[in-house]
Structures are given as C-alpha cells and as structure tokens.
Amino acid sequence: MPKAAEAQKALKLTDIPNIGPSIAADLQGIGVHTPADVARMEPWQAYDALRGPMGQRHDPCVLDVLLAAQAFMNGGAAKPWWAFTAQRKALWASKRKD
C-alpha cells in the first residue's frame, strides 16, 4: 500500500510513512484516530500512553516512529524512522532528568 507523499494526502493513519497497521491500532487505542491527530499529538506523551493498553512500554524505536510521523504530518519530508533516533535519544535524556 503506497504511503502519502505529502501530509495533506494522508487520509488514514496507515497513509503516513512509517505507520503500519500495528502502530495505527496502538495509536487508535490511545485516542489518536486521524492524521490530523498525529500532527497535534505530543510524541513523548503518546509513547508513554502506549504503556497503558500494552501493559508495558514499547521499544524506544516506537518513539522514533512517532517523531517521524508527526514531523511528516507537520510538513516535513518523509524520512525513515531511524532518521529520528538522535532526536529521540536527546528527548529521552531530557525527560529522564526529571
């Protein structure tokens, strides 16, 4: 299934680059139902909220996926999730200082 080349062409979660059926289902479980919701979500809070439905925290790379999806939905280029690993690590470090 082809992914959207531009944010405005993403009509459902799985149209967003890096979002497959499993992550889409996880996002829906925490109230993120549309691409517009992804644009507005706070990736760290969404990642942390996934602990509830799953009973445990996801792999940290899921946060990379959420960062990539949000960046795309806010006008960024479609990039592979691993392009956001450095950003995730910096975010992780800043959040863990609290």
Interval 53-58 mean pLDDT: 65
What's the pTM value of the predicted model, to 2 decimals? 0.91
Give the residue extent of every domain in the chain: 8-96
- What's the topology of domain 8-96? DNA polymerase; domain 1 (1.10.150)
Interval 19-41 mean pLDDT: 96
CA distance 55 to 48: 11
pLDDT category, 53, cuts 50, 70, 90? Answer: low
Whether residue 90 has pLDDT greater than 60: yes
Q: How far is CA 17 from CA 5, 28, 37, 63, 64, in A?
A: 8, 17, 15, 14, 12
